[in-house]
Amino acid sequence: MEDDLDLKQGLTDFLRLNTFAVTAVGNGKEFDLALGTEDFDVAILDVNLPDTSGFEIAQRLKKTTNIGIIMLTARTLRDDKLRGYSEGANLYLTKPVDGDELVFAIKNLADRLRQSDKNAQPARPTGKWSIDRVGQRLTSPQGTVIKLSGREATLLSKLAEDSKRIIGRHELGLAMGYQTLADTRSLDAVLQRLRVKVRESGAELPIHVIHGVGFQLSGEITLR
């Protein structure tokens, strides 16, 4: 994430030439939209952004995802570096950065995270749904693990936290980062993609849509 248009385009082009799939955004709102609809291995964050701070985003990513975090900023003071690492950055790089160094940093970090996932204990069938909010993984009653996007994880977590009641569209949309009722049309797309993922795993998502009212779990999901 970089708000300098020329630098953002230059980095994007260079990384794509090095075979990375890149989604380039310039502010926090665009970042949240991308995070809710796509899966990412690594996030590259500038610190100074028009609507938020890269430190704040790093802190949130650390708490809610297993995405690798690289801070890339012109702020070189020791206190800034220490804050970056304390907020969750795996690497703190300063501008201007050598392109090849950035490529290797991304590859090594992504490989390390994938290896960590492989070494994790495989899920065992429990007969119940469960969601790992930090790792953004949904486990089916059969033990199948389904990787979630940020917004998919938030949607399921919100419904699981209030499983005894119907949650209105606007309330659920706000929890997922949508600011207006009109924006919540994207909620349906998130839910549809999630249903497809779950069906491909051989299960059916336990969410009941009540037309004109809201959403409710039709089964139990344990939060972890």
Decide: 145 and 180 in contact? Cβ < 8 Å.
Answer: no
Nearest residue to 201 (alpha-carbon basis) of 152, 145, 148, 120: 145
The pLDDT-based confidence of 127 (bands split at 50, 70, 90) is low
Strand 129-132, strand 221-223: pairing:
parallel
Of 119, 140, 173, which marks where a domain is finished?
119
pLDDT tens digits for 182-199? Answer: 666 778 888 888 888 888
Q: Do 165 and 191 share a structural domain?
A: yes
The DSSP secondary structure of 184-222, one letter per residue, reads GHHHHHHHHHHHHHHHHTT----EEEETTTEEEESS-EE
Helix (H) or strand (E) holding 14: helix 5-17
Print the domain residue range for 24.
5-119
DSSP labels, 23-75: ---SSHHHHHHHHHHS--SEEEE-SB-SSSBHHHHHHHHHHH---EEEEEES-
- Do 11 and 114 lie in one domain? The reply is yes
Same domain for 173 and 199: yes
Domain end, chosen from 60, 95, 119, is at: 119
Based on the domain organization, do 48 and 88 belong to the same domain?
A: yes
Q: What is the pLDDT of residues 62-96, one digit of tens each?
A: 877 788 999 999 999 999 999 999 999 999 999 88
Note whether 65 and 39 are within 8 A (CB).
Answer: no
Query: What would the pLDDT profile of 13-64 be if each residue is shown by its tens digit?
Result: 999 999 898 999 988 888 888 877 777 889 999 998 888 899 999 998 887 7
161 plus 109 within the same structural domain? no
Q: In whole numbers, what is the pLDDT of the chain averaged over residues?
A: 85
Statement to judge: residues 100 and 137 lie in one domain = no
20 and 77 housed in the same domain: yes
Quote the pTM value: 0.60
102 with 45, same domain: the answer is: yes
> Residue 100: which pLDDT band, with cuts at 50, 70 and 90?
very high
Q: What is the CATH number of the domain that holds 219?
A: 1.10.10.10
3-state SS class at 121: coil
Residue 177: both structure tokens together: 């980062």
Tell whether 124 is covered by a domain: no
Domain end residue (candidates: 91, 119, 147) = 119
What's the total number of domains in the chain? 2
**What is the phi/psi pair of residue 113, to 5°?**
-70, -40
The answer on 110 and 9 residing in a single domain is yes
Q: Are residues 114 and 24 in the same domain?
A: yes
My answer on whether 42 and 96 are in the same domain is yes
Structure token digits, residue 5: 């248009």
Q: What is d(CA 38, CA 23) in angstroms, rounded to the nearest whole number?
A: 9
